Structures are given as structure tokens and as C-alpha cells.
Amino acid sequence: MKLDNKIIQIGDIYVPVKRRKALNLETVEEIANSLIEIGQQTPILIRRDRERYILVDGLHRLEACKAVGEKTIVALLVQARKY
């Protein structure tokens, strides 16, 4: 199965409250500096939920992109797990 990276509007991504609580501003700053120097190297993971995307992994990368003024981010669309 081939997985394709997509360019997603940052404003279309919802971050669950649980994920937001894990935010470390020092990590965001380090990643933001790296983004400025070399760009985004690893896509965030998102899943589709009707009209929006839900963040699965990559909170610090997402926040770093916001911090440097990016309007879009490279993401990989994954399927929600079914238990």
C-alpha cells in the first residue's frame, strides 16, 4: 500500500484537548528553528472526520509551523483504528 503525503491547510486541522495538554513550548521552538533552516522533514499524521481533519500525531510540528507563520503543513492521512 502506497501512502501519499498531502498539503493541508493548518486551519482545517482539529487538535483534541488531550493532545493540547502535552504541548512543550521548548520543543516547539526547537522544531520551529529547524523548520526555518531545513523545512519540514516528517509529516504529521491526521485522520478524516467529516469536514475536518483530526490530529493523530505531530502536535509539536503543527505548532512549530504555526509559530513560523506557515498556512499549510505536510500530512499523512491515516485511517482511524477500529477496536
pLDDT in tens, 15-63: 988 888 889 999 999 999 999 999 999 999 999 988 889 999 999 999 9
How many Cα atoms are found within 13 Å in the side-chain-facing hemisphere of 78?
A: 14
Residue 80: in which H helix or E strand, if any?
A: none
What is the model's pTM?
0.87
For the chain, the maximum distance between any two Cα atoms, rounded to a whole number of angstroms, is 41
For the chain, domain boundaries: 5-77
Pick the CATH number of 5-77 from 3.30.420.40, 3.40.50.970, 3.90.1530.10, 3.20.20.70: 3.90.1530.10
Burial of 25 (0-12, 13-18, 19+ CB in 10 A): exposed
Cα–Cα distance, 6 to 19 (Å, whole number): 22
Contact between 39 and 69 (Cβ < 8 Å): no
